[in-house]
Each structure stands twice: as C-alpha cells, then as structure tokens.
C-alpha cells in the first residue's frame, strides 16, 4: 500500500478550544519569553522511514536551529501548517563530531548526503543559490531522528514507543506518489535540483559503514525493570491522599 500524506488523516481527538482557554494562551504567549524556540531559523522538508520498515515513509518537516557550529537540533512536524502535529525530533552533527561517537551509537544515526544530492531535501521558500550554500554543509552531516507519533499508521494520538527513523540512501527507495505530491505542493522538481547540486562533495570520508543502522533493521522495545529507589524519605505533607 502506498503511503498517504498526513493531511488526509483525521483531526486530533478532542473538543474545540474554549474561548476562556484561548484567552489564557494569548496572555501567556504575550507575557512569556520563548528564547529557545525563537532561535529556530530554518525549515527543511525531507522524508524519513522507520528503521525496521522502509516501506513506511513519512514526510518530515524539520524546524531547526544551530546550537553551535557542530550541532543543530530540529523539531519535526507532519506538515507546515499551524495545526501541524509535533511528531518527533532530530539532531544533526558534523561529520567530525559523528566520528567521535561510540560504535554502538553510530547505527542510530543516518547520513544526509544522498537526500541532499538527489534533490529530495529542500528548504521551502529559499532561493536556490542561498539554499545550496546551506545544503552543501548539510550534505556533510549525520542526523539522529526519533519519531513519537506514527501518523502514517493513522494514529490519532502519539501511541506506542519512540521509533528510530532513517533517511533515504539511494534511488528507488522513495515512493513516487509521495515525491510527486511534495513537488506539486512546494513547486520544486527533485530531478532539476539533483542537477543543480551535482557539484557538491558530500562527506569527506564517505558514508560511514556503521551509519544508517549499518544496513540492518532496528526496532525499539520496552523493558520492564526493577525501579531504582532514590533513597529519599518522604518529605512532603500530602494535602490529601491523591492515590
């Protein structure tokens, strides 16, 4: 079955926001400060697939900021509209920083070189020449993407365990209907972008063999364990029993 775009999925269950609630939201959005999120300066569109199932492909709208020259952090939404669902996050590091990761950690990270050079990863609204400066750098990075909301399954709520996500690494992986849908909504042509980006060098050391789950599938599991006690006595006078 070919994946559908998130916009055809039903709304998140729940009642429409009450006016009294939205008054408080308006007040807080005016009075409070939002420094970490005001720093977000970049919107990237790309596709992720589940690390245990390449046939499940998800449009991923990344909203990113730089923490420093070596690292970015991104919030991932299922669309670029105000009612977008926050479905995951991704961290992006330079090749240099990636190479310092323990070997057990590297498989959780994916390369960006193919996505950039194939034209599939793009920055909506940014003119090509400016976009390509940024993409030239992104082609030399690795990302760690985790999704918490499986919208492609039709989940109306964020159910289940966190999912490790991977990125496209070669031609033939991306479903054509998803590609065409993205192209028509954003007025881009991936093939044309591929030509424009042919000069980009990508990773200095090539794709690391342990990255992209080292070519195998990864599945998250939940383990039930003995709780570690804190050793602290109860310090709180309980106003009333809340159990």
Partner 1 sequence: MSLTNEAGHKTNGTPTSKPLSTGQQILNKGAQMLQSFKPINQMTQHACTFALYNHDMSRQIETHHFITRLNQDFLQSAVYDTDDTNGRLIGIEYIVSDAIFETLPPEEQKLWHSHAYEIKSGLWVHPRMPEMIAMPELKNLAKTYGKFWCTWQTDRGDKVPLGMPSLMMPPQSEGAGVVKPEVVRKRDEEYKVSKEDSMKSRIEIPEPEWINPTADYWRQHNKCFEVDVESTEINVRTEYS
**Contact letters for partner 1, residues 124-163 (x by CB under 8 A):** xxxx--x--xx---------x-x-xx-------xxxxxx-
Residue 155's Cβ-count burial label (10 Å; 0-12, 13-18, 19+) is middle
Residue from 1, 10, 29, 204 touching partner 1 (CB under 8 A): that is: 29
Task: Name which of residues 156 to 175 contact partner 1 (CB under 8 A).
Answer: 157-162, 164, 172-173, 175
CB-nearer residue toward partner 1: 91 or 194: 91
Can you tell me which of 1, 10, 82, 103 binds partner 1, judged by CB under 8 A?
Answer: 82
Among 80, 190, 196, 203, binds partner 1 (CB under 8 A): 80
**Contact between residue 66 and residue 74 where contact means Cβ atoms under 8 Å apart:** no
Question: What are the Cα distances from residue 128, in Å, to 11, 39, 124, 125?
Answer: 34, 23, 10, 9
Could you tell me the two tokens for 194?
């591929």
CA pair distance 177, 168, nearest whole angstrom: 15
Is residue 97 a contact point for partner 1 (CB under 8 A)?
A: yes
User: How near is the Cβ of 87 to partner 1 at its closest, in Å?
Assistant: 9
Pair 47, 60: CB distance under 8 Å: yes
Query: Looking at 10, 14, 187, 204, which residue binds partner 1 (CB under 8 A)?
Result: 14
């Amino acid at each position: 079955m070919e994946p559908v775009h998130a916009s055809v999925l039903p709304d998140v269950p729940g009642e429409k926001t009450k006016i009294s609630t939205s008054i408080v939201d308006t007040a807080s959005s005016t009075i409070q400060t939002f420094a970490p999120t005001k720093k977000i300066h970049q919107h990237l569109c790309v596709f992720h697939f589940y690390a245990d199932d390449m046939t499940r492909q998800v449009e991923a709208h990344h909203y990113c900021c730089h923490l420093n020259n070596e690292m970015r952090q991104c919030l991932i939404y299922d669309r670029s509209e105000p009612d977008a669902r926050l479905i995951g996050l991704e961290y992006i590091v330079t090749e240099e920083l990636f190479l310092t990761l323990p070997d057990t950690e590297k498989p959780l990270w994916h390369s960006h070189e193919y996505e950039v050079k194939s034209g599939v990863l793009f920055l909506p609204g940014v003119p090509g020449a400016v976009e390509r400066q940024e993409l030239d750098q992104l082609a030399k990075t690795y990302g760690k993407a985790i999704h918490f909301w499986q919208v492609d399954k039709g989940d109306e709520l964020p159910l289940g365990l966190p999912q490790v996500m991977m990125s496209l690494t070669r031609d033939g992986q991306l479903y054509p209907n998803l590609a065409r849908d993205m192209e028509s909504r954003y007025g881009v042509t991936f093939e044309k972008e591929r030509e424009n980006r042919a000069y980009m060098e990508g990773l200095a050391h090539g794709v690391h063999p342990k990255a992209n789950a080292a070519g195998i599938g990864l599945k998250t599991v939940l383990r039930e364990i003995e709780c570690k006690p804190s050793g602290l006595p109860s310090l709180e006078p309980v106003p009333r029993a809340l159990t």
